[in-house]
A and B are shown apart, each in its own frame.
Chain A
Amino acid sequence: MAKTIIPIGPYHPLQEEAEFFQLHVEGEKVVGIDVSIGYNHRGIEKISESLTFDQVPYLVERVCGICSTSHPLAYVQAVEEIGGIQVPERALYLRTIIAEMERLHSHLLWAGLAGHFLGYNTVWMWAWKYREPVLDVLEAVTGNRQNYAFMKVGGIRRDFEKEDIFRIDQILDELKPKIDLLTGAVMDDPVLHARVKGVGILKPEDAYSFGAVGPTARASGIKIDVRRDEPYAAYDRVEWDVITDPAGDVFARVKVRLLELYESVKIIRQCLRDLPGGEISARVKEIPPGEGIGRVEAPRGECFHYVCSDGTNRPVRHKIRAPSYVNVPTCQVTVPGETISDATIILASVDPCYSCTERMQVVDKEKGTTLSGKDLVRLSQEKTALLIKGGHR
């Protein structure tokens, strides 16, 4: 059969960023995929070299809006490693709380988008509605809904008040039944099972060679999690589990993320309970020459920062590796062999975040065949509708 090339993107209506995938198809089957990025490349690593150590956190939290705690946290850890700075206990706990809140809102956001791609717009609206209270609390305690400006070298910028602790507790109480509802709806839905089970399988071997991280790797049965492997902040002082699933398909990735919501709630609860008093920031003198590495488990996986200092007040080199940079290429093995209508959800299941990947920009080619990203989402939604009609209910 003749090969057809279908370009998706770069500007897909509901994916937040520009992206460009080229699917090579034979009839209904995808036989190959090309990814092209660079639309979001803003040259952050270069800009970083012109800012002082204290200014960089503001820049790196704008690498990616959703991970606006993880990037600054990884960066400040790298700088703290260079300077041998001891961060006060209270700051460590508060960092953990904010990082986990971010995971909550990020996973909910993703669950909503995945629902949309599958044709469940209700899930989208629900998940995003439940996400709002989390953002409200973040706004109350940090001052902004996103881009919190919370981390700084040596500690954090803003202390929690008594009411904040109470408020977070309350939000968690309210959130819990809603997560139950969402998880229940996903786990027991026969249509969803039929739709995403066994689709887009990422074998552990492939996950390893692509260097996949985060929920993408954990859903392939690889037990990696920076929070456990190299505990930072207060993760070694609380009890929690690393969620894994051996299946490696889209369903496993959904499941891992949903179950992680519970772990996050658990972690935040313990941190609130054990929150020590005291200083929130250490005194920082000059940053000596040297190099440091900071790693953080962002909602999408390991976020890696390498900072090199030469004794001046600016970093000489700052390398940022966002989790999607290694997760997105896995679509080269997960998508081929599947049908066109499944391509969208497989791509979405790694929770791609291109602004991170390129820390800067995404691509297009338009001409050729006529299926657009929108058509693909439609195809995906129609398939679900067909399943529903087909008596799975």
Chain B
Amino acid sequence: MSITLKALQKSPWVFHLNTGACNNCDIEILNCLTPKFDLERFGVKLVGSIRHADCLLVTGPVTRKAAPRLKTLYEQAPRPCLVVACGTCAISGGIFKDGYNICGPVDKIVPVDAYIPGCPPKPEAYILGIVKLLEKLGQ
């Protein structure tokens, strides 16, 4: 295993990107960081710039205006960059699937490494998803 992946496993820094979500998914991500759930105990840290991030959390069905941004951000991210699609919208488009301004879901635009379903996924689901992803990396 490359040294970067190994290091990543200990403390993945995440960057959160909303591509047209209804906010719930995003709030639940922030919620994971607050005292009750405390994702930081797994070394997960929310960072403000994609250039510091190991992991991209994408929410929302990817609107037309957001799609080019998602692509650019993915290209700017240092490798290896894991992409996690959070919420039904990001996974399949959900209820917005047939909207005229939607060009998602996320895996149509960038490759996705993990899916966390739910509308919105509960904080417990996020924790499970991220821990599973880390375990997978370890193998």
Binding site for B on A (CB under 8 A): 10-11, 13-14, 16-18, 38-44, 46-47, 50, 58-59, 62-66, 68, 109, 124-125, 128-129, 132, 145-147, 353, 355, 360-364, 372-374, 377
Contact = CB atoms under 8 A, between A and B. Distances in A.
A147 B46 contact: no
A63 B18 contact: no
Contact of B23 (A10, A17, A44, A124): A17
Interface in B75-129: 94-96, 98-102, 119-120, 122
Given A125-B34, A361-B63, A109 B27 contact: yes
Given A132-B36, A355-B21, A372-B49, A10 B98 contact: no
B83 to A, nearest CB: 15
Interface stretch (B3-11, B65-73, B130-138): B65-73
Interface residues of B, number: 42
A125 B98 CA distance: 38
A65 B63 contact: no
A377 B36 CA distance: 25
B18 A360 contact: no
Interface of B: 15-28, 30-31, 34-36, 46-49, 60-61, 63-66, 69, 73, 94-96, 98-102, 119-120, 122
B101 A42 contact: yes
A48 B6 CA distance: 47
Nearest to B46: A13
B34 A360 contact: no
23 contacts: A11-B17, A13-B47, A14-B46, A16-B18, A17-B21, A18-B19, A18-B69, A39-B63, A40-B18, A42-B61, A42-B102, A47-B95, A58-B95, A62-B24, A62-B95, A62-B96, A64-B22, A124-B34, A128-B31, A360-B63, A360-B99, A362-B66, A372-B49
B20 A68 contact: no
Given A13-B46, A62-B22, 12 more contacts: A42-B20, A42-B63, A65-B23, A65-B27, A66-B23, A66-B24, A128-B30, A129-B35, A129-B36, A355-B23, A360-B63, A360-B101
A361 B61 CA distance: 10
Given A42-B101, A125-B34, A65 B65 contact: no
A148 to B, nearest CB: 11
B23 A353 contact: yes
Contacts of A50: 98
Interface SS majority for chain A: loop
A129 B35 CA distance: 6
B53 to A, nearest CB: 10
Given A41-B101, A145-B122, A18 B18 contact: yes
Contacts of B28: 145-146
A363 to B, nearest CB: 7
Contact of A38 (B17, B65, B100): B65
Given A355-B22, A361-B66, A16 B30 contact: yes
In the complex, which of the residues B15, B24, B46 has the most CB atoms of chain A within 10 Å of its own CB atom?
Answer: B24
B58 to A, nearest CB: 11
Given A47-B96, A147-B24, A13 B16 contact: yes
Nearest to A47: B99
B63 A40 contact: yes
A146 B35 contact: no
B115 to A, nearest CB: 19
Contacts of A39: 18-20, 63, 65-66, 69
A147 B120 contact: yes
Contacts of B69: 10-11, 18, 39, 364
